[in-house]
Each structure stands twice: as C-alpha cells, then as structure tokens.
C-alpha cells in the first residue's frame, strides 16, 4: 500500500506553522517599542544588511567591469584612429619633403642653366640601371633634342654627373661618374694636385695616381682638370666641374704616389634632373676632321 502524501497525512502541521507565524507577527506589532523586540529587529536588520551589501557590491562590481570593457573598446578605437592619422600625416610629410627636394633640385638646375656658358638641354631621369659593376641612367632627351654620344652631363652646382654613351631619338643612356668604367682626370681645386678619378659603384670615388709630394687634405674639393691644348685637342670634360670632396687620404711614407677617397658632389643614386651639354666636344679629334 502506497504511503499518503505528507500534506494529506498531517494537514494540521501546516495550519499550526501558519498560526505560529501570525502569533509572532502580532506580538512584534504589540510590543514593537519594547527593548527585546528592538534588539530582535536590529539583529534582523544586521542580517539583512550583511546579506544585501555583498549582493549590492557584486552588482556594482559587475557594472564597473562592464564600464571598464566599454572604456577599453573606446580607447582601442581611439588608438586605431590616431595611428591611422599618424601614418597619413607621416606619408604626407614624406611626400612634401620629397617635393621640396625636387623643387630645390629643379631651382638649382635652372640657376645653373642660366649661368653656364654652355648650350644645354634639361633632362629628367626616367630609369636607372644599378648593379655591382655598372651605374647608368636613362634620360628623356635624345637625338631629336640635339644630344650626341660623348656629351657631358652635369647637375646642380655645375657638378659632373656622367657622359652620354648611347642615344635614340627620344632618350639617351648616361654612364655615371660612379660607374667602375668611368674615369676622369681631376685635380685638387686648392692646390692643383692632379690625379685620376675612377668610379667604384656604391663606394666613394677613387682619386688615384696623385703625386705624394702634393698636399691632399680631407674636405678638399676635387674638380675636373679640363686641359685644353687647342679647340680640337682638349680634355673630354670641361675644366672646373665639381667632382666631389675628399673624405679619406691613403698615403704611405715611402710611396711616390698617394690616393684618396672622394664623395661625389651629386647624389647620383637619387638625382632626378640633369643638364646635357650640347656644344662641348672634347677628347681626341676625329681623324677625318681637319684642325
């Protein structure tokens, strides 16, 4: 036989419990001003506070954590925006600096063209051919502009850049001063000490075969010597073009010759605007031409 439900077995128990609770509430109401009741009420209040305050603290903590995550997301978004703005400004600053360099180079080239005694044509570098064993650039001028093989190429400050070695109708190829096959007789501008400048690609130029008895100082300017014996017998390069400055001197006490390292005046790795001299013909005369 199944046992009866507890409520069915003892219905009086529930009624008794309800009666007890009602009686206690009545007594507390009647004696609400008495000291024992106040003590009970105070203790009950403390219990309620002890339970409710941690719960409230947990709620406040949860709200603080939520606010913290919101702040972190806001800061991350702001940081991302600032980084993007910084990169954009840096890119713009680099572009402005590049434009300023180009403007300065163009102005210097125009100034040179206005003051040089040679007939020239301005040219832009449109391509570069750089390797360990060569240094060439392609210019956007050619035979249609009067350019010929052998023409001397100069840059800002009347500085030697190179020499034309190949010409097409609209362009020409220039062997730069830094090319290992390039060589030009030069001198120390302040003392006249003669030597041979040779290209060494990415390394400083070599200034070789200089009389050891002649003074060569670090910082001295090297220029083309430009010897001219007659209108048809003269150096391949005009006199006085700036080649570079001495950055190191290599000499031995017992040697009869000395050498030096020379930094080119022009930054030939990045130069953009050059001038081709059209009316200077140097080197050995053409055998078919009567002096």
pTM summary value: 0.66
Summarize pLDDT for 194-249 with one digit per residue, the tens: 999 999 999 999 999 999 999 999 999 999 998 776 666 778 999 999 999 999 99
Euclidean distance between CA atoms 84 and 201, whole angstroms: 39
Give me the helices (H) in the chain, please.
6-9, 11-30, 35-115
Q: Is 205 in contact with 199 (CB distance < 8 Å)? A: yes
Structure tokens at 86: 């910084």
CA 153/CA 76 separation, integer angstroms: 55
Spatial distance between the Cα atoms of 194 and 158, rounded to a whole number of angstroms: 20
Q: Provide the mean pLDDT of the chain.
A: 80
Per-residue pLDDT tens digits for 98-143 = 777 777 777 877 788 888 889 999 999 999 999 989 999 999 999 9
Summarised one tens digit per residue, pLDDT across range 20-52 is 545 555 555 555 555 555 555 555 555 545 555
Q: Mapping DSSP to helix (H, G, I), strand (E, B) and coil, where does residue 184 land?
A: strand
Helix, strand, or coil (residue 145): helix
Q: What are phi and psi of 194, to 5 degrees?
A: -90, 145
Phi-psi region of 26 (alpha: psi -120 to 50; beta: other; left: phi over 0): alpha
Give the class (CATH, top level) of 120-277: mainly beta
Q: Which residues pair with 173 in a beta bridge?
A: 138, 166
């Amino acid at each position: 036989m199944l046992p009866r439900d507890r409520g069915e077995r003892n219905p009086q128990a529930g009624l008794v419990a309800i009666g007890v609770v009602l009686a206690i509430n009545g007594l507390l109401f009647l004696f609400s001003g008495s000291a024992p009741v106040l003590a009970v009420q105070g203790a009950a209040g403390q219990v309620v506070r002890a339970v409710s305050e941690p719960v409230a603290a947990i709620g406040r903590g949860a709200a603080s954590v939520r606010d913290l995550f919101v702040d972190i997301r806001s800061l991350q978004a702001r940081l991302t925006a600032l980084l993007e703005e910084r990169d954009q400004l840096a890119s713009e600053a680099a572009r402005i600096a590049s434009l300023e360099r180009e403007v300065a180079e163009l102005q210097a080239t125009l100034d040179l063209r206005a003051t040089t005694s040679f007939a020239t044509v301005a040219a832009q570098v449109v391509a570069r051919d750089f390797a360990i064993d060569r240094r060439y650039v392609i210019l956007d001028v050619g035979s249609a502009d009067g350019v010929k093989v052998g023409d001397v190429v100069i840059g800002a400050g009347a500085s030697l850049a190179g020499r034309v070695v190949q010409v097409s109708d609209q362009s020409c190829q220039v062997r730069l001063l830094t090319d290992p096959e390039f060589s030009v007789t030069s001198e120390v501008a302040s003392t006249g000490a003669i030597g041979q400048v040779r290209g060494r690609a990415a390394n400083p130029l070599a200034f070789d075969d200089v009389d050891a008895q002649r003074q060569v100082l670090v910082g001295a300017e090297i220029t083309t010597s430009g010897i001219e014996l007659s209108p048809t017998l003269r150096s391949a390069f005009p006199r006085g073009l700036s080649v570079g400055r001495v950055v190191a001197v290599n000499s031995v006490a017992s040697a009869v010759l000395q050498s030096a390292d020379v930094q080119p005046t022009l930054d030939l790795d990045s130069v953009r605007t050059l001038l081709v001299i059209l009316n200077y013909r140097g080197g050995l005369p053409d055998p078919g031409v009567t002096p």
